[in-house]
Amino acid sequence: MHTSFVSLSALLSAALGAATPREAPRCIESLIPITASATNFDLSSGSAPPNATIPVSGTFPIQLRLCAPTTPASLRSKTLQVLIPGATFNTDYWDMSFEPETYNYVRFAAANGYWTLNMARLGDGGSARPDGNTIVQIPFGVAVVSEIVKLARAGSLFGTLGGIEKVVVIGHSLGAVILNGVVETVPSSIDGAVFAGFSHTFGPTNVAVAEWGPASEIVPERFAGLPPAYLTSLNATTRAAALYGAPGTFDPAALEWDEERKDTIANGELLTFAGAVPVAAPSFTGDVFMINGDQDGVFCSKPGCANLADEAQFYAGARSVEFNVISGVGHCLNLQFGAPKVYAAIQEWLNKHGY
Ligand SMILES: *[C@@H]1O[C@H](CO)[C@@H](O)[C@H](O)[C@H]1NC(C)=O
Ligand SMILES: *[C@@H]1O[C@H](CO)[C@@H](O)[C@H](O)[C@H]1NC(C)=O
pLDDT in tens, 18-46: 445 678 999 999 999 999 999 999 999 99
Q: What distance in angstroms lies between residue 210's CA and the mean position of ligand 2's atoms?
A: 10
Tell me whether residue 327 is in a domain.
yes
Q: Is 3 part of any domain?
A: no
Q: How many CB atoms lie within 10 A of CB 140?
A: 29
Distances (CA, A) of 75 to 18, 72, 80, 304: 17, 9, 11, 35
pLDDT for the residue 21:
63
pLDDT tops 60 at residue 290: yes
Domain count of the fold of the chain: 1
pLDDT computed for residue 19 by the predictor: 47
- What pLDDT, on a 0 to 100 scale, did the predictor assign at position 161? 67
Residue 237 has pLDDT above 50, yes or no: yes
pLDDT, tens digit, 9 for 90 and up, residues 68-126: 999 988 889 899 999 999 999 999 999 999 999 999 999 999 999 999 999 999 999 99
Is 196 a domain residue? yes
Q: What is the pTM of this model?
A: 0.93
- Cβ–ligand 1 contact at 51 (below 6 Å): yes
Which atom belonging to ligand 1 lies closest to the Cα atom of 53?
14
Inter-CA distances, 287 with 180, 199, 322, 349, Å: 13, 16, 8, 10
Residue whose CA is closest, atom 4 of ligand 1?
A: 51
| Dist. CA 260–CA 122, nearest whole Å | 21
Specify if 1 maps to a domain: no
User: How confident is the model at residue 20, as a pLDDT?
Assistant: 53
- In angstroms, the CA 218 to CA 215 distance is 5
The answer to whether the CB of 53 is under 6 A from ligand 1 is: no
Is 99 inside a domain boundary? yes
Task: Identify whether 123 is part of a domain.
Answer: yes
Query: Which stretch of 82-86, 89-93, 164-168, 306-310 has the lowest confidence by average pLDDT?
Result: 164-168
Across the range 303-328, mean pLDDT stands at 98
Q: Of all helices (H) and strands (E), which one includes residue 146?
A: helix 138-153
Read off the pLDDT band of 158 (50, 70, 90): confident
What is the reported pLDDT for 156? Answer: 83
Percent of the chain with pLDDT over 70: 93
The CA-based diameter of the chain, rounded to the nearest angstrom, is 75
Asked whether the predicted pLDDT for residue 335 surpasses 50, the reply is: yes
User: What number is the average pLDDT over the span 217-230?
Assistant: 98
Q: Is 265 within the bounds of a domain? A: yes
CATH number at residue 169: 3.40.50.1820
Pocket residue to mutate for ligand 2, from 238, 256, 262, most atoms within 8 A of Cβ: 238
Is the predicted pLDDT of residue 3 greater than 80, yes or no?
no
Task: With cut-offs at 50, 70 and 90, classify the pLDDT of residue 160.
Answer: low
- Residue 111: what pLDDT? 96
User: Does 50 sit in the ligand 1 pocket, CB within 6 Å?
Assistant: yes
CA 61/CA 59 separation, integer angstroms: 7
C-alpha 12/C-alpha 33 separation (Å) is 40
pLDDT at residue 73, as a whole number: 85
As a whole number of angstroms, the distance between CA 48 and CA 294 comes to 30
Domain that holds residue 337: 8-352
Q: What is the percent of the chain with per-residue pLDDT over 90, rounded to a whole number?
A: 88
